Structure 1
């Protein structure tokens, strides 16, 4: 029987609290050892509720010999720093996406993690959802022929809550904080590297806070494949996350505004796949992500499903899209 992974959570905002609860209550093979928040009262409250220790700093958690792996849910602009700190102490890391808002910092963090030998998993959680994983299986099985196009929609009903997420300098803005989910998925499904991006956007709803609140990006990939991604901070008709992967022999459709159903169509047929997933949402994805991390920590699995290099590529596409939006011209993906 696999041993239990002893985990800590750094950052106890909306996402950190969710991760702490998942580790404590939903994943066999993982236990919550320690938590940290700059807000001491919140740290103590979560620790008391979930049976963990509240430590006084991120470094104290990294030094703790009982902690084997750390889940980083601090603000995006601190992620690279946290990865390097974990690497210094030999702790495996699950870091919330994006890997950072700065490409140079992210590159240094990925290199540092690789040199140290720790396992670095980045939280692009859609890859862990059963619907997306089933779609990936269908693509890899050749059910739609050779994939050549990805279309993704990511629209939130309301803008982020007040705080650092509303500052594009700290969060990376719409393209990095939200659209990069689709930048990651496009590369995953198509199995090719992005080479150029053209993006347009604007603050149509007044929800951009110095950034676009809605944007569209078209990405050119190696071998002539392409992707189109639409993202918005303000969707008047509600939460909308879905995608399509088109191939030479058919297409796979993931989700609608109301479900995460998967369907595959080609040459006059549409086959509905995975009915048992209709009512599930992304809580499942976060849970599977943490389960995967625990298995990485204990050595049951060796390869992160979303590596530091994968996340770095999504960051580079987002940076190129942002530059394209500012310049009004296509921009090469620089890394």
Structure 2
């Protein structure tokens, strides 16, 4: 079996998660990493045993001899870096969100098609063992005809300061965690077209750090008549929630990602990357990465590279999620239900659709 060599762009939390997940896979090795911050870069490669380190991703692409590259950077860098990776003839694993505009998404999809490389969209919720089992049960008819999926992801706030910045993040909690819930609902229901979106959002807790949204509720209407009610928040004090409810005509499924295989811990200072969210009672997993689907998604992507098959979560899915998020911002800005397909006005960051309306309302007072 030919060894697959992986390059990692990024040195933050999610880059570390992917490196650790890839290290569990036979015939796969992260051989190169890049980050412009020398101190972070050198500490990262030392910790994870990576042999090559570069200050610039273009140098990595030219010199490292990798087969696939993981883009695990702040959101505004996703599109330009993905296009550089694709232009170099490398497969790419894209962290969410895919990018910030539909034009960028189309460029990524078209470039990958022309170059004959694969683009995997890293949505780990579609690989979570507990959620896979829930989908198996639903698909087998255990709860009758599924008519609604509810999905909740909440905690106290992001782990890195760039998430608060409009230019770098492109949006608040919707772009950070709402994208998970959107793609989870699409995947769980078999990816039927989304017919319309209604969204509500506000900045309820973190107005001292950002003008972007930190609390969101989204209602998706699918062409099948099914619906999804999604809640995403950086405003949950006292822990974390990651919960799914599946409602059918003959039953219901409740899946709490943080319980069932977790420990019960009380910690006054909190711990780990999400220290603020782990103060008080929490339920840490004994094998967090596996329970959250990271090794499974990376294993699937590597197998697609070996076999030349399209990944289950691709750039097309990332584009679909981005279009829905753009429609969410438009809905929250206008107070109206937005039908899809939706093409937004030209904005530098998706959240600007909502922020422009909010600033206008404030200025009119």
What TM-score does the superposition give when structure 1 sets the normalisation length?
0.87
Is this contact kept in 1: 2:32–2:64, CA < 8 A?
A: no
Could you tell me how far 1:85 is from its partner in structure 2?
A: 1.0
Give the structure 2 partner of residue 33 of structure 1. 31
Aligned residues: 316
1:167 maps to which of 157, 165, 168: 165
Structure 2 match to 1:184? 183
Q: What's the Cα RMSD here?
A: 2.2
Q: Which runs of 5+ in 1 are unaligned?
A: 262-277
Matched ranges for 1:1-335 at <5 A: 2-23=1-22, 25-49=23-47, 50-64=49-63, 66-156=65-155, 158-171=156-169, 172-191=171-190, 192-206=192-206, 209-255=210-256, 258-259=259-260, 280-284=287-291, 285-299=293-307, 302-334=309-341
Return the offset for 1:223: 2.2
Stretch moving more, 36-45 or 176-185: 36-45
C-alpha separation between the residues in 1 aligned to 2:287 and 2:55?
Answer: 37
Once residues 102 and 283 of structure 1 are traced to their aligned partners in structure 2, the CA distance between those partners, rounded to angstroms, is 31
The separation in 2 between residues aligned to 1:60 and 1:119, in whole angstroms, is: 21
CA distance in 1, matches of 2:25, 2:330: 41
Shift of the alpha carbon at 1:282?
4.3
CA contact (8 A) 1:260 1:281 kept: no
Runs of 4+ in structure 1 displaced over 4 angstroms? Answer: none
Shift of 1:17: 2.4
**Structure 2, unaligned runs of 5 or more:** 263-284, 343-365
TM score, norm. by length of structure 2: 0.80
Check the 8 A contact 2:5/2:65 in 1, yes or no.
Answer: yes
Structure 2 Cα separation of the partners of residues 313 and 305 of structure 1: 14
Q: Which moved more, 1:43-52 or 1:178-187?
A: 43-52
